[in-house]
Structure 1
Amino acid sequence: MPVDVAGQRPNVKAELKVLTRLPVVFALLTTVMSAGAMFTLYTYIAPSLQNITHASPMFITLMLVLIGIGFSIGNHLGGKFADRSLNKTLTGFLVLLMLSMLLFPILAQTPIGAALALIVWGAAAFAVVPPLQMRVMSVAHEAPGLASSVNIGAFNLGNALGATVGGAVLSMGMSYSAVSIAGAVLTALGLLLVFIQMKMTKEPVHQFS
């Protein structure tokens, strides 16, 4: 057996230690908050449209298709712009996500307004996914595989967080408009985490181009 085989084995303890570093923790928390913001509205999108827009089942189906188109557009744009500037892409689309959720209760009072709000919201929601993944892998570059896997777990945790926050808002007797506002608050927390990370680390240059 070659003497260097043991040296090629992954150092699990060292990789796990990477995940405890503050920049990595903040990056993962940003994923949780961003995903949570998205799923706060997405989980309750059908009843939100029913209550705010007074939408029919057919209209709701069309809006779900439109959201899917927005997801595809956002994922493409997020990856494209993140190659140029990770921080600007992440902050820009998080701001757009927050604004779209703040304006959704107003715009969704008409079918056209709802359609415009949701395609922008869908694009912004998925545009943050590529830069979030790139940031985690950048700050945890010693363990990219593990960091990527944990980041997927953080996204799923955000899914649960968003559904829980939306449900809590409704259980307190608030309207479906407040669900979207709660999602905007989670987005603002994600933005705050990004600004903290920008102070802590330098933006990687052409690392994933």
Structure 2
Amino acid sequence: MLALWKALPQGMVAQKPNVKAELKVLTRTPVILALLTTVLGAGAMFTLYTYIAPSLTEFTHASPTFITFMLMLIGVGFSVGNHLGGRFADLSINKTLIGFLVLLIVMMVTFPILAQSQIGAAIALVIWGAATFALVPPLQMRVMSVAHEAPGLASSVNIGAFNLGNAVGAAAGALVLDLGWGYSAVSFAGALLAGLGLLLVLFQIKRESSPAQALQQCSE
């Protein structure tokens, strides 16, 4: 609360929104694609995060104390990643998304190997935590940039997309476990979701650079 009080502009007067017009903005293809990217990014994170305790137990025979310590380290990674994601997104939203999605994929693919030792698990989870939350600022900024006529509503809906990704990730992990593929496959399933998110980002970049799309954006 103190950080918000210090950081938010003072004396701003809000304008009454046109709800009908803002809802129409959310039906545009670029907005839908951006929201879907948020779903996949959050899904990639929660595929592993939902099952992090049993995964650590499986890989490192971790004690409850060690698992608690790992959750604290993940929180440190979240904070570092959120800061870095905002810094880099100010320079380039797309490059930030691509870079940290690639890092997330690498960490999730290698996590079952690195987590064979407690030190390896600790290093992997800090980097993994940073990569996951570094995606949050650029994902939010991408949604708001393509829905600039309705930034408030788009921002709110994007949080809903993040929570939908939470459910998708947990369900993906559950499906893998139900198939009997084990906790290593849970991490790989998260990497697959991150890979789909990366492909979607690249598709959006290509789509935005096409002459037809540029003409449409000018007309809007």
TM-score (norm 2): 0.87
Rounded Cα–Cα distance in structure 1 between residues aligned with 2:114 and 2:161: 31
Change (3 A) 1:14 1:116: same
Rounded Cα–Cα distance in structure 1 between residues aligned with 2:17 and 2:82: 32
Amino acid at match of 2:91: R
Counterpart position of 1:43: 50
Counterpart position of 1:54: 61
Amino acid at match of 1:108: A
Compute the displacement of 1:37 (Å): 0.4
Rounded Cα–Cα distance in structure 1 between residues aligned with 2:152 and 2:62: 44
Amino acid at match of 1:153: G
The reply to whether residue 117 of structure 1 matches residue 109 of structure 2 is: no
Counterpart position of 1:127: 134
Amino acid at match of 1:34: G
Counterpart position of 1:155: 162
> Which of 140, 143, 155 does residue 150 from structure 2 map onto?
143
Rounded Cα–Cα distance in structure 1 between residues aligned with 2:48 and 2:92: 28
Aligned to 1:118, what secondary structure does the other structure show? helix
The alignment-based identity, stated in percent, is 75
Counterpart position of 1:188: 195
Regions of 4+ moved over 2 Å: 8-11
Aligned to 2:126, what secondary structure does the other structure show? helix
The reply to whether residue 106 of structure 1 matches residue 94 of structure 2 is: no
Rounded Cα–Cα distance in structure 2 between residues aligned with 1:178 and 1:54: 18
TM-score (norm 1): 0.91
Counterpart position of 1:3: none
Rounded Cα–Cα distance in structure 2 between residues aligned with 1:35 and 1:62: 23
Amino acid at match of 2:31: V
Aligned to 2:91, what secondary structure does the other structure show? coil
Amino acid at match of 2:45: M
Number of residue-to-residue matches in the alignment: 195
Provide Cα deviations, 1:188-209, integer angstroms capped at 9, x if missing partner.
010011001111226xxxxxxx
Provide Cα deviations, 1:47-97, integer angstroms capped at 9, x if missing partner.
000001111111111100000000000000000010011111111001101
Gaps of 5+ in 1: 1-7, 203-209
Compute the displacement of 1:9 (Å): 4.4
Rounded Cα–Cα distance in structure 2 between residues aligned with 1:179 and 1:39: 10
Question: Is this contact kept in 2: 1:67–1:118, CA < 8 A?
Answer: yes
Question: Is this contact kept in 2: 1:23–1:200, CA < 8 A?
Answer: no
Rounded Cα–Cα distance in structure 2 between residues aligned with 1:61 and 1:175: 22
Counterpart position of 1:10: 17
Counterpart position of 1:96: 103
The reply to whether residue 22 of structure 1 matches residue 54 of structure 2 is: no
Gaps of 5+ in 2: 1-14, 210-220
